[in-house]
Amino acid sequence: MSYLELTRMAGAEAILAIAVVVVLFFDLYVVRDQTPGTRRGFAAALSVIGCAAGLMFVKLMGGEGEIPGGMLVLDDLTRIAKMSVLGIAAFAILLSADNDFTPHVGEYYALMLTSTIGMALMVSSENLLMMFVALELASLSLYILVGFNKHCAKSSEAALKYFLFGGMSAAFMLFGLSLLYGLSGSLELDGIAKSLQHQGADPLTLAAMVMVLIGFGFKVAVVPFHLWAPDAYEGAPTSSAALVATGSKVAAFFLMTKFVMTAFPASLGSGGWRAFEAGWAPAVAALAALSMIIGNLGALAQTSVKRLLAYSAIANAGYAMMGLLGNSGQGMASVMFFAVTYAAATLGAFGVVSAVERNRGGDKLADFAGLQKDSPWLSFFMMIFLLSLAGIPPLAGFFGKFYLFAAAVNGGEDLSLMWLVVVAVAMSSVSLYYYLQPLKQIYVVDRPAGAGEFKGGFALWVGLVGLAAAVVAFGCAPDLLVDCLTRGGVEAH
C-alpha cells in the first residue's frame, strides 16, 4: 500500500476535500465584498468544478483495487456508484445557485461538498468502521444543511427532527455492527460472510441483521422509520432537501444492498407468499410492502409539493427495497438503476419547486396554478420529472420499476414474490393520482391574477435541462446504464 495507490483509490474524495478548502477561502478572502449573488455564483461554480473533477478522476483512472481490510474498494460497480453520487451532488449544487436564504455562502457549499465526500466514501468501503464514519460524515453535514435557514423556525425544527431520528438510527446501526463484529471477529463484509456462513438463521445474527436494517431503514426512509422525512423535506431549504432526498439515498441504497447481499448470504430466508422462511428477505419484503402502501397513501393527502415529494420518496424507497430481494447481480443493478433515475427525477422536481417558491412565494399546489403560461419550459420539465416518478414510459422511472420487479420475481423461487409485485403495481396506480395533482394545477387550472414574469438563473436551467435529458435518455435507452451495471454486478458476484 503506497501513497500513490491511496491517491488513486481516494482521489475523488481528495479532490472534493481540496474543493471544500478552496470554496471557503475564496469566499472569505476574494469575493467577500461582492453581492451575495456573485458570491453564490463563484462558490457554486467552484463546487461544481470540484465534483466534476472528482467524477472525471474516477472515470479516467479506472482500475481495480482494495486497501487492506476493505477500507476502500474500487471496482466497476463502486466506480459507477461513486460517479452517480458525484454527478447528483453537482446537479444539486447547480440547482441551489439561486438560493438567497443565507449570507453564509461559503459554508453552505463547503457543507454540501463534505456530505458528498461522506457519500463517496460510503459507496466505496466494505469495512464496518469506515462505513460508519463515512455515513456519519454525510449525515452530520446534512443535519446542518437542513437547518441552514436560520430565519425560519420550520427549518430548525426540521433539522432537530432529522438529527434526533438520525442519531437514534446511528445508535441502532452501531449496535448492530458491534454485534456483527463480536459474532464474526471481522470488520470486513467478506470476512463476516465467511465466518457466518455456517450459522444459518441464528438468533443473535438475526438481531444484528435487524439492527443494521433499522439503521439503513432510517437513512433511506422506509416505513416505519420514515417519520422524519416529510417534516425535514418541508422545513429544509429546498436545495438541502434535494440533496437529502437524492444523493444520500443513492449512497445508502448502494451500501445497504452491498451490505445485505455480501455479509448475509447464508441467512437470506424467503419473503415469498406461503414460502416464508426466517432471514433478511422477509424483513426487507415487509419494509418494502409497508413503504409502498403508506408512502403512496400518505402522499394523497398532501397540499405542499415538498411534502408530496417526501411521501413519494418513501414510496419509492419501498420499490427499491424489492430489488434487494433479487439477491443477485441483477438485483443489485436494478436497485442502482432505480435509485439513480429516481434521484435524477426527484432532483429535477425539487429544482422546479425551488424556482416556483422564489417566484410565487410557496410550494403549495395552488402556487403552481397556470404555470404553463408563465414558463412553458419549466412546466414541461416538471411534467417529465413527475411522470418519470409515476413510472410512465418512455421515461426512466418506468424501466426502473420494471427492472426491479423482474429482478425481484426472478430471484424468488417459483414466482413466490409475485405478491409484492402486485402490491407495488396497485400502489403505483394510486401514485398516478397525486403525481397528476401538480400537473393539473400547471396545465389545466388558470393562472391567478397578478402572477407573471418568471425568473430563473442560468445554473437552474443548465441543471434542469441536464436532468431532464438524463431521465429521457435512460428511459429510451436503458442500456446506457444497465450495461455498465450488469457488467459490474456480474463481477461482484
Partner 1 sequence: MDDFGANCLSLIVPVTFLGAAVIGLVRMPDEDVRRVALGTALIGLVLGLLGTCSFAHIDGPAIAVLHDCAWVKSLGIHFLLAVDGISLTMVLLTGFAATAGVLFSWNVDKRVREFFALYFALIGGVYGVFMSLDLFLLFVFYELAIIPKYFLIAIWGSGERRYAAMKLALYSFVGSAMVLAGMVAVYVAAGAETMNLIELAEKARAGAFSDSFQAWAFPLIFVGFGILAGLWPFHTWAPTGHSAAPTAASMLLAGVVMKLGAYGALRVAVALFPAGLAQWADAIALLAVIGIVYGAGVALVQRDFKFVIGYSSVSHMGFVILGLVTLNEVGLSGAVLQMFSHGIIAGLLFGVVGRMVYERAHTRQLSMLECMGLSKALPFAMGTFVIAGFASMGMPGFSGFVAEIQVLIGAWDASPKFALLAGVGIVIGVAYTLRAMNQVFFSDAKPEHELTVPPAKPISLPEMIGAVMLIVCTLGIGLYPRILLDLIVPALHNDLFQAMWGGGGL
Q: How far is the CB of 278 from partner 1 (least distance, A)?
A: 25
Contact segment (CB under 8 A) with partner 1 among 57-65, 69-77, 169-177, 405-413 equals 405-413
Q: Give the chain's radius of gyration (CA, Å).
A: 21
Asked if residue 482 binds partner 1 (CB under 8 A), the reply is yes
Question: Nearest Cα to 20, choosing from 42, 40, 46?
Answer: 46
Please state, as a whole number, how many other Cβ atoms lie within 10 Å of the Cβ of residue 282: 18
Please state, as a whole number, how many other Cβ atoms lie within 10 Å of the Cβ of residue 196: 22
Asked if residue 403 binds partner 1 (CB under 8 A), the reply is yes
Asked if residue 246 binds partner 1 (CB under 8 A), the reply is no
Q: How far is the CB of 254 from partner 1 (least distance, A)?
A: 19
Q: How far is the CB of 391 from partner 1 (least distance, A)?
A: 8
Q: How far is the CB of 338 from partner 1 (least distance, A)?
A: 14
Interface map 339-378 toward partner 1 (x if CB under 8 A): ----------------------------------------
Residues 298-337 that bind partner 1 (CB under 8 A): 330, 333
Q: How far is the CB of 329 from partner 1 (least distance, A)?
A: 10
Contact segment (CB under 8 A) with partner 1 among 71-79, 232-240, 270-278, 482-490 equals 482-490
d(CA 169, CA 163): 10
Single out the residue of 57, 350, 368, 405 in contact with partner 1 (rule: CB under 8 A). Answer: 405
Closest CB to partner 1 among residues 176, 412: 412
Closest CB to partner 1 among residues 218, 311: 311
Contact segment (CB under 8 A) with partner 1 among 32-40, 103-111, 168-176, 410-418 equals 410-418
Q: Is the peptide bond before 394 cis (omega within 30 degrees of 0)?
A: yes
The residue whose grid cell reads 415469498 is 272
Closest CB to partner 1 among residues 204, 301: 301
Asked if residue 132 binds partner 1 (CB under 8 A), the reply is no
351, 492 in Cβ contact below 8 A? no
Size of the site for partner 1 (CB under 8 A): 34
92, 239 in Cβ contact below 8 A? yes
Question: Nearest Cα to 113, choosing from 211, 20, 246?
Answer: 20
What letter would DSSP give residue 98?
A: T
Q: Which helix (H) or strand (E) holds 423?
A: helix 418-443
Asked if residue 478 binds partner 1 (CB under 8 A), the reply is yes
Q: Is the peptide bond before 203 cis (omega within 30 degrees of 0)?
A: no
Single out the residue of 102, 199, 304, 410 in contact with partner 1 (rule: CB under 8 A). Answer: 410
Q: How far is the CB of 62 from partner 1 (least distance, A)?
A: 22
Q: How far is the CB of 243 from partner 1 (least distance, A)?
A: 29
Question: What are the start-end ranges of the H helices in 268-393?
Answer: 280-300, 305-326, 329-360, 371-374, 376-390
Helix/strand/coil for 446: coil
Closest CB to partner 1 among residues 93, 305: 305
Residues 373-402 that bind partner 1 (CB under 8 A): 387, 392-394, 398-399, 402
Q: How far is the CB of 380 from partner 1 (least distance, A)?
A: 9
Q: How far is the CB of 145 from partner 1 (least distance, A)?
A: 35
Q: Given phi > 0 = left and psi -120 to 50 = alpha, else beta, which region is 205? A: alpha
Interface map 62-101 toward partner 1 (x if CB under 8 A): ----------------------------------------
Question: Nearest Cα to 202, choosing from 172, 232, 182, 187?
Answer: 182
d(CA 23, CA 21): 5
Closest CB to partner 1 among residues 228, 403: 403
Interface map 415-434 toward partner 1 (x if CB under 8 A): x--x--xx--xx-xx--xx-
303, 365 in Cβ contact below 8 A? yes
**Which amino acid, residue 141?**
S
**450-482 b/e (C-beta count within 10 Å ≥ 16 → b):** eeeebebbebbbebbebbbebbeebbeebeebb
Vertex 28 angle, CA 25 and 32, to 5°: 140
The residues binding partner 1 (CB under 8 A) are 330, 333, 387, 392-394, 398-399, 402-403, 405-406, 409-410, 415, 418, 421-422, 425-426, 428-429, 432-433, 436, 440, 443-444, 477-479, 482-483, 486
